[in-house]
């Protein structure tokens, strides 16, 4: 089988490594991939958003199966375009990807179908948004409606900050058209849990839960990033909470999308907050999370390609989806200065026999050099969470590049929760 994986980060590297475990796989092409992914797949210089070029390549290369991993091409309709040419594809179509593509859509869906989430109002008129803020409790959360590279969420501690966020999004268009509509919502508190799930629109199978670490600095301080590390499973996600989530969130969401004529197939990511009033949805993503995938897939014992093919054929109920009863930790190594200014082009040396997922790196004169903010993620698994954390930090020591920066406390909050 010949496969393409659209995307070029650590998440795609983890998907590719897992797909390669299936003996039927002859060749994987990564579009565009990166210098590190090149060790595991053939990288083709086609951008993940260049849908006509992706389809053209897939047809000419005689591709049997396509996996579209990032949000942008999914929301733009890459799955529809590939399937229109008869290529079997994993991922939601454009109509279903709106669950991530528009926060106003996903909030209205939850309200209509009674799926627990923060209360909210949606605005397309700036003056109305500004006057709403006058009477709402603080802190309050201001969100740009569309995709904003994970940066379109402002937690405002004061009314002035909330007003500023609204003006930035609606008047100054700092997130472009993504901000022409804003959602203003209630601030919730509680531990956050990421649950990725497989679904064919009929069956929904949650994967092992995980915990992201979004802030740049130790102690959850500093700026928001794409994610500085993850652990799985998440100790806050108990069996009891898992059951509540299945009954009040996962199944109702799949059914709601069906009722709306927007059947979702692929990986649906539930970003949850475990509040005092029970689990609530913070966000949906229409795809695998990054860097959640880098701890979830290494724990998957079943065959990923088989699961994806079963989803394509609407037979997920026949797939085996089994996770190891173990723990995983992924420590992201970034370029010093990320998520703001940073330098790249430094040579990377790392062991070849470890689970290292490369995100931002390129090949230069045959050598792997840094090429992005998040450079790579080091994942280790072990019988205990502490074992996985210690092993990941041990492997981090054997990875070297100039200006490397990583958090030193990935998994520590989870360890404390475990001890409670």
282 part of the interface to ligand AMP, by CB under 6 A? yes
What residue 260 binds from ligand GLY, ligand AMP, none (CB within 5 to 8 A, per partner kind)? none
- Residues in binding contact with ligand AMP, number by CB under 6 A: 14
What residues from 253 to 292 belong to the interface with ligand GLY (CB under 6 A)?
A: 285, 289-290, 292
Mind giving me the DSSP string for 201-240?
SS-EEE---BEE--EEEGGGEEEE-S-SEEEES-TTS-HH
Closest-by-Cβ residue to ligand AMP is 283
- Smaller CB separation from ligand AMP, 141 or 334: 141
What residue 118 binds from ligand GLY, ligand AMP, none (CB within 5 to 8 A, per partner kind)? ligand AMP
Question: Across the strands, what pairs with 42?
Answer: 29
What residue 290 binds from ligand AMP, ligand GLY, none (CB within 5 to 8 A, per partner kind)? ligand GLY
Instruction: Give the three-state DSSP class for 144.
Output: strand
In angstroms, rounded to a whole number, what is the distance separating the alpha carbons of residues 245 and 265?
A: 19
Q: Which of 132, 187, 342, 405 binds ligand AMP (CB under 6 A)?
A: 187
- CA angle at residue 211 from 196 to 191, to 5 degrees? 110
DSSP run (H or E) holding 197: strand 192-199
What residues from 114 to 133 belong to the interface with ligand GLY (CB under 6 A)?
A: none
200 part of the interface to ligand GLY, by CB under 6 A? no
Stretch 153-172: interaction string toward ligand AMP, x if CB under 6 A: x-x-----------------
252: its two tokens: 């109702």
Q: Report CA-CA distances (Å) from 324 to 88, 206, 231, 262, 292.
A: 29, 14, 14, 33, 16
For 89: left if phi > 0, alpha if psi spans -120 to 50, otherwise beta; the answer is beta
What residues from 128 to 147 belong to the interface with ligand AMP (CB under 6 A)?
A: 141
Closest-by-Cβ residue to ligand GLY is 289
What residues from 224 to 263 belong to the interface with ligand AMP (CB under 6 A)?
A: none
Q: Which of 32, 271, 278, 314 binds ligand AMP (CB under 6 A)?
A: 271
Q: Check if the beta carbon of residue 8 is closer than 8 Å to that of residue 37.
A: yes
- Smaller CB separation from ligand AMP, 141 or 328: 141
What residue 282 binds from ligand AMP, ligand GLY, none (CB within 5 to 8 A, per partner kind)? ligand AMP
150 part of the interface to ligand AMP, by CB under 6 A? yes
Q: How far is the CB of 285 from ligand AMP (least distance, A)?
A: 8
Q: Check if the beta carbon of residue 272 is closer than 8 Å to that of residue 282.
A: yes
160-193 exposure pattern, b = at least 16 Cβ within 10 A, e = fewer: ebbbebbebbbeeebbeebbbbbbbbeebebbbb
By DSSP bridging, strand 211-212 and strand 192-199 are: unpaired
What residue 141 binds from ligand AMP, ligand GLY, none (CB within 5 to 8 A, per partner kind)? ligand AMP
354-367 exposure pattern, b = at least 16 Cβ within 10 A, e = fewer: ebbbbbbbbeeeee
- Smaller CB separation from ligand AMP, 25 or 148: 148
- Smaller CB separation from ligand AMP, 185 or 303: 185
- Residue ranges in contact with ligand AMP by CB under 6 A: 118, 141, 150, 153, 155, 185-188, 192, 214, 271, 282-283
- Residue ranges in contact with ligand GLY by CB under 6 A: 150, 212, 227, 285, 289-290, 292
């Amino acid at each position: 089988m010949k496969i393409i994986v659209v995307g070029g980060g650590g998440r795609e590297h983890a998907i590719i490594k897992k797909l390669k475990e299936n003996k039927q796989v002859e060749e994987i092409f990564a579009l565009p991939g990166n210098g590190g992914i090149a060790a595991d797949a053939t990288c083709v210089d086609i951008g993940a958003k260049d849908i006509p070029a992706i389809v053209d390549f897939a047809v000419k290369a005689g591709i049997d199966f396509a996996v579209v991993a990032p949000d942008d091409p999914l929301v733009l309709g890459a799955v529809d375009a590939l399937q229109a040419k008869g290529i079997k594809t994993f991922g939601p179509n454009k109509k279903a990807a709106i669950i991530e593509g528009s926060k106003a859509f996903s909030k209205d869906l939850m309200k209509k179908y009674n799926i627990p989430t923060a209360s909210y109002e949606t605005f397309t008129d700036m003056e109305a948004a500004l006057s709403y803020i006058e009477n709402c409790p603080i802190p309050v959360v201001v969100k740009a409606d569309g995709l904003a590279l994970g940066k379109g969420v402002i937690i405002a501690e004061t009314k002035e900050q909330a007003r500023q966020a609204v003006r930035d999004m609606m008047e100054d268009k700092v997130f472009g058209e993504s901000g022409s509509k804003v959602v203003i919502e209630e601030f919730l508190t509680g531990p956050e849990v990421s649950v990725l799930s497989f679904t064919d629109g009929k069956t929904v199978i949650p994967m092992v839960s995980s915990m992201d670490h979004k802030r740049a600095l130790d102690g959850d301080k500093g700026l928001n990033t794409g994610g500085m590390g993850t652990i799985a499973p998440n100790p806050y996600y108990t069996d009891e909470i898992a059951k509540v989530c299945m009954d009040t969130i996962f199944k109702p969401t799949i059914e709601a999308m069906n009722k709306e004529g927007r059947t979702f197939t692929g990986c649906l990511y539930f970003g949850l907050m475990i509040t005092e009033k029970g689990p609530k949805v913070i966000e949906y993503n229409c795809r695998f999370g990054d860097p959640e995938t880098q701890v979830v897939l290494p724990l998957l014992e079943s065959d990923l390609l088989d699961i994806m093919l079963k989803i394509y054929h609407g037979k997920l109920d026949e797939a085996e989806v089994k996770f190891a009863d173990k723990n995983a930790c992924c420590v992201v190594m970034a370029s010093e200065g990320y998520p703001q200014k940073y330098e790249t082009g430094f040579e990377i040396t790392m062991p070849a026999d470890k689970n290292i997922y490369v995100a931002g790196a390129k090949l230069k004169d045959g050598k792997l050099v840094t090429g992005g903010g998040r450079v790579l993620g080091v994942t280790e698994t072990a019988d205990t969470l502490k074992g996985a954390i210690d092993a990941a930090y041990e492997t981090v020591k054997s990875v070297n590049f100039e200006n490397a920066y990583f958090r030193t406390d990935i998994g520590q909050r989870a360890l404390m929760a475990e001890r409670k």
